[in-house]
Amino acid sequence: MVIVTTIRRDVLTLPAAELGPDNPLPPLRPLDELHRVEDRDGLPREMARQIGYEPLRSLLPVPVRDGYERVREPRAIDSLVIENDRLRATVLPGLGGRIASLLHKPTGRELLYRNPVFQPADFALNGAWFSGGIEWNIGATGHTTLACSPLHAARVPAPDGGEMLRLWEWERLRDLPFQVDLWLPEGSDFLYVGVRVRNPHEKPVPAYWWSNIAVPEERRVPAPADEAYHFGYERRLHRVPVPSYEELRQHPYAADYFYDVPDGRRRWIAALDDEGHGLVQTSTDVLRGRKLFIWGAGRGGRRWQEWLTEPGTGGYCEIQAGLARTQLEHVRLEAESEVAWLEAYGPLSCAPEAGEVEARLEAVLPRADVDAAYAAWKPYADTEPGEALATGSGWGALEVLRADWKLPGTPFDESTLGEEQEPWLHLLRVGSLPEPRRVRPPGGTLVAPHWRDMLETAPATPLTEYHLGVAQWHAGDRAQAVRSWERALELAPSVWPLLRCLAVADREIGDHERAADRYAEAFDDLCRERRDAGERWTAATAALGREAIEALLAVRRTREARSVWERLHPATRERGRFRFVEAQLLCAEGRRDEARAVFEEGFEVADLREGAEAVGRLWERISDEPLPARYDFRMR
């Protein structure tokens, strides 16, 4: 009996950490991005050009997501399941549309690395990210800002007369709508994934896409290439022979290998166990790049593996597919155009040599069949969705209202507009930002040129000047941003957000003493103004306090830094990231034994940044002994 392809709601229950509130301070500092190349000499011309093409310089308008901790409790996570008699895919629409599981039903084999927990960590461009499954990375080099955010989801007619699961959202870093259509034909061993990224603007924009597939670590990873571009965390990119499985197992540190797939070769990558069973991913040729990421055999890589899941569980590596040869590039998407392709994911069993894999793949899923599936899917990309299954953000609806764009297949309905969009909808319709109904930290700022123009012509209230300054800062007009913030100070009932912005500006020009003065004054004002111990005020106090202590310690004003520390909420001071701040403060005060005692008592910096070395550097200042394993996150 053939089981008809179905899409249904389900619940996935996992030990999970709460995401917590977003950081309310606008991310004004330059992006701390590990994945950049410092020397492009010797690289192919196209690669070098695309590495230098419009790299992301700011997270604005996206907030930093750093409110999570590491306390995990069983929590129900909404999921959507699409399955036929061969495959079952479990999708998490509230967490970036991640495919958490892809189960081959006849053999009972899980084809992906399925993380047994949900534990956010600081790997996304804006913070919170989690490992496992298949994620859809759009925006810029790195993990998408949508990793832990909801997408819209709905049923859509499929080319074979069945149903597809459509996911779609508005990517805010580049202001691009995108969609991911999951299609599982009846009786198929392969999940088809149709992807489309659209540029509705009247000018070209940089585009970026990598489908990131986590697979169990002990896998051989063949691909149709003899050479690869190796990228380590020393920020160098160079061409090497594709390493053997044994060489990869012995590699001490985390590394990326971007396979140099020759033009004309079929695009695919596989991950097979010792018996030759595993997953293969293939696509139409537009999805050009293929990549392997390993954590390395060193202590730091093992620690990161534990950090992202449960100690004692199996590790993982990542195989990936992207629009460019390397993940360090952005491609040009012309005005009012789109880029689209089809991917296929399914089981494969054969010897792990590239020639054997390609022959077996051609036997079970011919290249011509993938091209035909793309041709069949493409006319359905514009089909309007049917039953809604999940709701994403309201940012797409706001942009569609502003520009009156028509985006068939991906409706951004006005009903999705919410509290975050409310003041900007008012600016769009009335020409002014509404005064807040109660005292609270300001919300996020929209920084695209059209919103900046609206702010410049709106009545110059203190709140408008604050947001205008943030938009000007993002545009690179730093002097004008400072003038806007200084004008707002004269009349603003709440000055700490403005003083904090001015403090960041001072740090950027190297005036660290004045930055410390303004941070101290900003924190004083926040403590006078905060109304309660609610989530927003607590998040603002923690974020501003952390920055203020860092700025004060930079100019050796330890007494004032201690004063800021003492006025943080007691629960904030107990969080792991603030125990580390306490150790830094103790060290600066010359109390090295007490700083070491903080290490010995143990702490976990929940939002430790990928590649961060601050914990190890502090340990070197307070101890001559080797860095304890629990604090060793070195990636180079």
Extract the tokens encoding 454. Answer: 């609206």
Domain boundary (330, 362, 390) is at 390
User: In this structure, is residue 551 part of a structural domain?
Assistant: yes
The torsion angles phi and psi of 436, rounded to 5 degrees, stand at -65, 145
Residue 379 and residue 458 share a domain: no
For residue 151, what are its two tokens?
């997408």
* C-beta of residue 194 within 8 angstroms of C-beta of residue 377: yes
**Same domain as 186, residue 92:** yes
Same domain, 114 and 56: yes
Position 402 in a domain: no
From the list 99, 93, 100, the residue with the least C-alpha distance to 168 is 93
Angle formed by the axes of helices 576-588 and 558-567, nearest 10°: 150
In a shared domain, residues 363 and 451:
no
Confirm if 291 and 328 have CB atoms less than 8 A apart.
Answer: no
**321/202 same-domain check:** yes
184 shares a domain with 97: yes
For 120, 151, 173, 202, the CA distances from 205, given in Å and listed in that order, are: 30, 22, 11, 9
Integer CA distances (angstroms), 588 to 166, 550, 584, 622, in order: 53, 11, 6, 10
Show Cβ contacts of residue 404 under 8 Å, excluding neighbours closer than 6 positions: none
Give pLDDT, residue 33.
Answer: 63
Count other Cβ atoms within 10 Å, centred on residue 78. 17
Domain boundary among 336, 366, 390: 390
Phi-psi sector, 444: left (phi>0), alpha (psi -120 to 50), beta: beta
- Greatest alpha-carbon span in the chain: 76
pLDDT at residue 1, as a whole number: 45
Interior angle at CA 189, CA 187 and CA 192, nearest 5: 100
Report how far residue 632's alpha carbon sits from residue 191's, in angstroms, rounded to the nearest whole number: 39
Number of domains in the chain: 2
Examine residue 20 and state whether it is found in any structural domain, yes or no: yes
Residue 65 sits at φ, ψ, to 5 deg, of -110, 95
pLDDT at residue 599 in the model: 96
Q: What is the pLDDT of residue 31?
A: 73
Residues 582 and 482 in one domain: yes
Closest CA to 564 of 554, 577, 550, 574: 550
Helix axes 512-529, 535-554, angle to 10 degrees: 150
Residue 482, CB-side half-sphere exposure with 13 Å CA sphere = 11
Separation CA 315–CA 555 (nearest Å): 42
What is the C-alpha separation between 489 and 82, in angstroms, rounded?
A: 54
- The answer as to whether 427 is a domain residue is no
> From CA 22, how far away is CA 64, in angstroms rounded?
6
Is the domain of 383 the same as that of 452?
no
Do residues 214 and 363 share a domain? Answer: yes
Dump the DSSP string for 603-632: ---TTPBTT--HHHHHHHHH-SSPPPGGG-
Q: What range defines the domain where residue 541 resides?
A: 436-631
Q: Of 270, 288, 285, which is closest to residue 345 (Cα–Cα)? A: 270
pLDDT along the chain (636 residues), means of 10: 80 96 94 72 92 93 96 97 97 98 98 97 96 97 96 96 96 98 95 98 97 96 96 85 93 93 97 97 98 92 90 89 96 98 98 94 98 98 97 98 97 97 97 87 95 97 97 97 97 95 97 98 95 88 97 98 97 96 97 96 92 88 92 83
Q: Is 531 left (phi over 0), alpha (psi -120 to 50) or beta?
A: alpha
Backbone Cα Rg of the chain = 25
pLDDT at 428: 98
Tokens for 136? Answer: 């859809």
Quick count: other Cβ atoms within 10 Å of Cβ 232?
16
CB atoms within 10 A of CB 436: 14
Residues 338, 208 share a domain: yes
Residue 401 in any domain: the answer is: no
Asked whether residue 53 is assigned to any structural domain, the reply reads: yes
Among 457, 541, 446, 454, residue whose Cα is nearest residue 496: 541
Kindly report the CATH number assigned to the domain that includes residue 198. Answer: 2.70.98.10
Q: Is 416 among the domain residues?
A: no
Q: Say yes or no: 296 and 444 in one domain.
A: no
Q: What is the CATH number of the domain that holds 577?
A: 1.25.40.10
Mention every residue, 6+ apart, whose C-beta is less than 8 A from residue 510: none
Residues 140 and 79 in one domain: yes
Rounded to whole angstroms, the Cα distance separating 36 from 15 reads 34
Q: For position 300, what pLDDT does the model report?
A: 86
DSSP state of 143: B
Q: Is residue 315 part of a domain?
A: yes
In this structure, are residues 139 and 174 in contact, taking their beta carbons and an 8 Å threshold? Answer: yes
Tell which of 352, 373, 390 closes a domain. Answer: 390
The C-alpha torsion from 568 through 570 and 576 to 580, rounded to 10°, is: 50
Quick one: tokens of 253? 């540190």
